[in-house]
Amino acid sequence: MSKKNEYIKSTDNLEDGLFINREISWLQFNERVLQEASDPTTPLLERIKFLGIFSNNRDEFFRVRVATIHRMNMLMQKKELDYRISFDPRKLLSEIYSIVENQEKRFTAVYQDLTRQMKENGIFIVNEQELTHEEGKYVRSFFNQNIRSYVFPIMLNNVKNLTFLKDENFYLAVEMADTAKKSKTRFALLKVPVHITGRFISLQPPEDKKDSHFIILLDDVIRYCLPDIFSVFGYDHFEAYTVKFTRDAELDIDNDVSKSFIERMEESLKQRKKGVPVRFVYDEKMPLALLDKLKQKMRITEKDTLRAGSRYHNFKDFMDFPKINNPAFYFEPFPPLAHPLLPPNHSILAIMRERDIMLHYPYHSFQYLIDLLREASIDPQVKEIKMTFYRTARDSSVINSLINAARNGKKVTVFLELQARFEEETNIYWVNRLQEEEVEIIPTIPDYKVHAKLLVIKRMEDDGNELLYCNVSTGNFNESTATVYADDSLFTTDPRVTKDLDKVFTLFKSRYIPPTFENLCVSPFNIRSFIIRQLNNEIKNARSGKEAWAILKANSLVDEEVAIKIYEASQAGVSIKLLIRGICVIKPGIPNLSDNIEALSIVDRFLEHSRVFIFCNGGRNKYFISSADLMPRNLDHRIEVVCPIFDKGIQKELMQMIQIELNANVKARSLHDGHINEYRKVNSDQRIRSQYEKYYMFRKMLKGNHFKNKTHDRSTE
């Protein structure tokens, strides 16, 4: 082992400078989202949506990650932290807040630039002070008909505390005064009921601007109607300031064995709504007396929790900005494509008996999965259907297909993860709904989340033997997200895969007793060791003078042991290509350490969500897809699956997609040390936008019937 390798293995964690802190790396990822909002080549109203995505991402970051660091900091100050960490939480919080503050300034500048461009294109966001007389009449009428019955003022002088407020909402803090009696001032708080009407209210354009669009925000509608809301007091002066806070979203689930897990989860969700505020953002123009009153009622004592902001908050609502009838404001439409191996009105089960198929969402239609379940639900030879869910649509056609199968007499078994963060209430709803239909629900496994996405259909064939039809996916069985999340989904009857997939459901029931898997890798048991083993094989080949490389595509790369092994592989001469959309703690490009590592992040119209691992293996390439990111939580605390791809045609297809991404020079950013988030430059005049190139590739395959009369070869060399 080299001295450098010894240094890597003996040095603890982040303080040695080998890694980027995961929180800082996440903020760098969100910066890439902000870059999309800033990019003049992105259509105008898509840029507005990216501002909404940036804001939504940041809210979740504070609810989860910043809240965790706050807890660490408090425990360290009390000397109650029972494990050693390699960073100073207070120092890290300071760095986070500094980055967030700088990003907020850029965010505001981008928003102002976009509203200017919108005006130039006939889209006007007006406030309550800019309304004409006729618009004012309409706004007041709209308020009385649609909003007034959902506005409930909280008088701050009368209420004991505000710990019951929900952080999914934002509020208007109101100052009321009688100009004739300057000493008589009242403060109130109003929730802005976005869930009733949406954030944006369209107004009738004036006669001279009939082709223009006028929009007012719901908060400004309420501002305009404050005299009506508080008419009983006789005040003549009103000012309203937006406030928004973010709570700690950690769930503490008690161990009361007399209650079901669902009951304990529901109680924990109620407690989440009263979690400690970790961020309190307010309009910088708010009077100090009103701010002090809110701090007192919210019981906010931490100074770094407070952040002065602009007039408007909760920009995540801009993900749902009103649709304007002008194609130039939006991305080129990419309707989901048919798959050339799945002709219409043919049995999907019959096709699966003959060959493996891989769908690539959102390029391919998600409807195929629903059609497969519908076919299985009415096929008299199908006896059983098993499926896992992590995140589901509120009105899920997938789950409704399973309910239909149960009604048709099939045995249906479902594992629905109740601990999927921010999806708990939706998943509890579906568990109750499925139980009503007598679907067997496998109970949630304490201390572990099931993140694997699996479907197993058991069918008695004409020869009397049972055949397993399976689907394993890198992404959720969720039709709502399948139009924007880029995932890979394998449909197979290959027994080398299907027998192992069926055993995973045995694992759910046996809990801590893992079955023996022949070809599948399953965390928390062996995915980390699998990755290490494959990299060790590449290291051995590199040292023997053989070709050696590895391609790892994931949402995040955080796990320290895997990262150290990647560094070791780089030092041994293994070429490492990383496609990491989000957090990446590795620093590529450091001489004698990571100069054989290239790392890219692609952020574009679709969310890169698939996990693909490809290893050279001495020229006999190995291909895998997975639900797991390279993070300790996925490798140690979740049930995940790494699935081998045996089909030669699908292997070729995956490599084509990966090569397009590795060659991308549009929307691809460097993750190299000193060049973070710089757009990648290649020695080519050709512009390669990977998501577009992949769509065009699949469309060309469809038009040319690329797979016609081709039999996919599942065999291995």
DSSP states of 514-578 as a string?
PPPPSS-EEETTSHHHHHHHHHHHHHHHHHTT---EEEEEES-B--HHHHHHHHHHHHHT-EEEE
pLDDT tens-digit profile of 376-417? 999 999 999 999 988 888 888 999 999 999 999 999 999 888
CATH class of 521-703: alpha beta
Residue 689, strand partner residues: 666
**Region of poorest pLDDT, from 87-91, 143-147, 285-289:** 87-91
| Topology (CATH) of 1-121 | Methane Monooxygenase Hydroxylase; Chain G, domain 1 (1.20.58)
Residues 468, 477: Cα–Cα separation, whole Å: 19
pLDDT tens-digit profile of 665-684? 999 999 998 889 999 877 77
Per-residue pLDDT at 81 = 57
**Region of poorest pLDDT, from 183-192, 346-355, 359-368, 406-415:** 183-192
Q: Is the pLDDT of residue 427 over 90?
A: no
Task: Report the Cα 336 to chain-centroid distance in Å.
Answer: 21
CATH class of 348-510: alpha beta
User: 597 and 570 in contact (C-beta within 8 Å)?
Assistant: yes
Average of per-residue pLDDT values in the chain: 88
- 451 labelled catalytic: yes
Of the residues 339, 360, 451, 712, only one is catalytic, namely: 451
Q: Is the pLDDT of residue 27 over 60?
A: yes
Per-residue pLDDT at 165 = 80
Helix, strand, coil proportions of the chain in percent (round to 5)?
A: 40, 20, 35
Tell me the pLDDT band of 441, cut-offs 50, 70 and 90: confident
- CATH 3.30.300.30 for the 123-321 domain, yes or no: no
Q: Is the pLDDT of residue 576 over 60?
A: yes
User: 245 and 273 in contact (C-beta within 8 Å)?
Assistant: no
Decide which of 87 and 540 is more confident: 540
Residue spans of the domains in the chain: they are 1-121, 123-321, 348-510, 521-703
Residues 78, 3: Cα–Cα separation, whole Å: 39
**Region of poorest pLDDT, from 448-452, 499-503, 704-708:** 704-708
Q: What is the mean pLDDT of residues 133-150?
A: 96
pLDDT tens-digit profile of 91-113? 999 999 999 999 999 999 999 99
Q: Is the pLDDT of residue 335 over 50?
A: yes
Residues 409, 435: Cα–Cα separation, whole Å: 15
Q: What is the mean pLDDT of residues 354-380?
A: 98
Per-residue pLDDT at 272 = 39
Share of the chain above pLDDT 90, in %: 69
Per-residue pLDDT at 44 = 98
User: 502 and 516 in contact (C-beta within 8 Å)?
Assistant: no
Q: What is the mean pLDDT of residues 178-199?
A: 88
Q: Is the pLDDT of residue 707 over 60?
A: no
**1-121 against 348-510: fold identical:** no
Tell me the pLDDT band of 422, cut-offs 50, 70 and 90: low
Per-residue pLDDT at 391 = 85
Q: What is the mean pLDDT of residues 593-604?
A: 97
Per-residue pLDDT at 710 = 47
At 234, phi and psi to the nearest 5? 75, 25
Per-residue pLDDT at 78 = 66
Decide which of 365 and 185 is more confident: 365
Residues 425, 265: Cα–Cα separation, whole Å: 9
**Amino acid identity at 410:** K
Tell me the pLDDT band of 262, cut-offs 50, 70 and 90: very low
Decide which of 84 and 662 is more confident: 662
pLDDT tens-digit profile of 621-657? 999 999 999 999 999 999 999 999 999 999 999 999 9
**Region of poorest pLDDT, from 87-101, 119-133, 260-274, 530-544:** 260-274
Q: Is the pLDDT of residue 57 over 70?
A: yes
Q: What is the mean pLDDT of residues 333-357?
A: 96
